[in-house]
Amino acid sequence: MHQHFKAISISHKIAPVHLREQIALSESACKELLVRIQEVLDIQELLILSTCNRTEVYYTAAEDKSTEIIKLIGLQKGLRDIENYFPYFQCFSAHNEAVSHLFEVCLGLHSKVVGDLQIANQAKNAYQWSADLGLAGPFLHRLMHAIFFANKRVVQETSFRDGAASVSYAAVELVEELTYGMRNPKVLVVGLGEIGADVCRNMGEKDNYTITITNRTLSKAQALAAEYGLRVAPFEKVWEEVLDADVIICSIAAQEPFITKSAVAGLDFFTYKYFIDLSVPRSVEPSVEDMPAALVYNIDDIQAKASSAMQKRLAAIPQVKAIIGQALEEFYDWSRETAVSPTIQKLKNALEQIRQEELARHLKGMSVEEVQKMDQITKGMMQKIIKLPVLQLKAACKRGEAETLIDVLNDLFNLEKQPDKVK
């Protein structure tokens, strides 16, 4: 059981976004698929991790179930042509390979933005869904907690998670800096291109802002607002919203700036307004900053901030890999010891049975005090006798030589016929 961990993955490294979005699973869909896989394939330990950049299924089984699981994903998503997606899936059928992959994914080494802050929480949620459905056994429990502990070390000991390493994260970080000390700052997002939408998703996690979005295509704004609990303003009222906002984030695709100096000059405002331009070509005219109470930040400012954070994260990768290596070594030691624990228990049971049989032969005529004394003495003897074989067996596990010693113990004590518990 403990050497049969496997995984399948479709991610941004191989599959374009239009394919990934067809496979992506919501929370409810993940839970439904967990139950379906367990019922159809009789797999007892399962984990499904689905984000905008990847959908992955981790499972424990003696045989490779990749094809069957992918087909079940297709059934879950209503995809009749799921066979066409096969080339975009990576399959990890080797136990250690699947374990290492899950470690690296959860710690952010395989994220589109290296060191992604969200992936650890997404992994925790996925683990919770499995645990709630009874699909996280001793192996998966131990594995996930080893990953969470390694992640804690990465945060505490490295700069791998420091700073905002994507343009959208850097924009949000800049908003936080600009509005520090403000009470319930108002943020307006004008235009919902890829970066603008990402900013909304990241801002949507913060409850101390009033966030309004406006877009020429109203339905797109409404869909995003419904997902993240944001306020929508009609695009024809954009200048009223600009006047009311503290921070204006603009990402409108056009050849000429949408927010111009003349338009801003026509607004009657006396407190500072911060304009963050995420467009190329620019959608905020640079001369807007000539206004007494206006400051403009362009995409170069944001990218410089993101690039600086990214360099720190990339420099920390060797440290992260070293932490993963240590965690894997400890986890594999536990895994190997767990594999021999049935033999240890049977050996204890075999010696305990001998002890009880010998005690039974000599109890006649003994007082209660003598029986208790004899029981205590023989238990102490058995504990000392069992100690060395157990230590030797655990040491053999670390050397990868446990099977030979298990065979010897089985032959010496006939452990194959030994019951799990002594009556």
Q: Which residues are catalytic?
A: 52
CA–CA separation, 359 and 133 (whole Å):
46
Per the listing, tokens 């409108």 go with: 252
CA–CA separation, 174 and 270 (whole Å):
22
CA–CA separation, 420 and 345 (whole Å):
7
Nearest one of 354, 370, 335, 328 to 414, comparing CA atoms? 354
Tokens at residue 417, please? 């016929």
Per the listing, tokens 């059981």 go with: 1
Q: Exposure of 37 by Cβ count < 10 A (0-12 exposed, 13-18 middle, 19+ buried)?
A: buried
CA distances from 406 to 128, 133, 323 (A): 36, 35, 32
CA–CA separation, 130 and 205 (whole Å):
24
- The alpha-helical segments, DSSP class H, found in 213-265 are 218-228, 238-244, 261-265
CA–CA separation, 283 and 276 (whole Å):
9
Whether residue 275 contacts residue 295, with contact meaning beta carbons closer than 8 Å, is answered with yes
Whether residue 127 contacts residue 136, with contact meaning beta carbons closer than 8 Å, is answered with yes
Helix (H, G, I), strand (E, B) or coil at 238: helix
* DSSP string over 128-166: HHHHHTT---HHHHHHHHHHHHHHHHHHHH-STT-S--S
Tokens at residue 136, please? 């996280």
